[in-house]
Amino acid sequence: RPPGFNPCQASCSQKVHLVFIIEGQNWSMFTSLLRLAKDIVFPLFCAGCKKEGTALCGTCARSIKNFKDPWFRLPDAPEIFRIFAPFRYEEGKTLATLIHLYKYGFAFELHKILCELILPLLLTHKEAFAESVLVPIPLHKKRLKWRGFNHAGLIAQECAKAIHAPLIPLLCRRKNTKPQAELTRTERLTNLQDAFSTELKIINPPKRVFLVDDVVSTGSTLTEAARALRKDFDGEINALVIARNI
């Protein structure tokens, strides 16, 4: 900052100018400051019982029930063999609240809590991920800059480490589409058409690929990503998500 400049005593125009300087020169620093301010002004409360001090208390974590069979298939999606989705996504419930805070509350650290839920279940099916590569669903560069992190990428990192699988960003998002959460079911089915393309040339293709995302609802995101990947990959395409509401 300029010598003698005090942000607390700056005029409105000076503060706006300071924000533009930070945004232009060091966006990651700016988003870090936003998160620090968020933690101070809005302390963590449990997504379930609202108890202060943690985003998910032990009692509420144990109340999140998983499916007996985490595998399912999307109807009308021949591009995807099957999907690992161990939890049910229900609006207003603890898990849905936690995921929403993670994605839209700039709370990137919550991926650790979400992965603590899914990893024990993932490890019980570890053999199904043999000879696989994890591919996170990408964000468009503008949305990645706004959010500061790729929510699917962080989840994929933790899962890849747990099952000792390679993580390769094979896809890119070439269209800056509207967030799926803001659209109707009908709009979601067409919003992502031709939104993805392959980012890297697959030299030594694996036996199977797992696309990684947080939630599957209509399945349009995973389907469009699989269609883009299929143009350069002949192997088995699956998906790995935390929860599903279908």
pLDDT in tens, 60-73: 999 999 999 999 99
What does the pLDDT look like over 153-202, one tens digit per residue?
999 999 999 999 999 999 999 988 777 777 777 777 677 888 899 987 77
Task: Report the Cα–Cα distance between both ends of the chain, in Å, rounded.
Answer: 51
Q: What does the pLDDT read at residue 129? A: 96
Mean model confidence pLDDT for the chain: 85
What does the pLDDT look like over 101-160, one tens digit per residue?
999 888 899 999 999 999 999 999 999 999 999 999 999 999 999 889 999 999 999 999
Least confident stretch, 31-35, 84-88, 89-93: 31-35
Q: Are 111 and 154 in contact (CB under 8 A)?
A: yes
DSSP H helices in 65-217: 94-104, 110-123, 141-147, 151-163, 185-191
Report the C-alpha gap between 28 and 16 in whole angstroms.
17
Whole-model pTM: value is: 0.81
Q: Are 222 and 85 in contact (CB under 8 A)?
A: no
- β-bridge pairing 196-198 and 171-173: antiparallel
**Residues β-bridged to residue 75:** none
The better pLDDT of the pair 76, 4 is held by 76
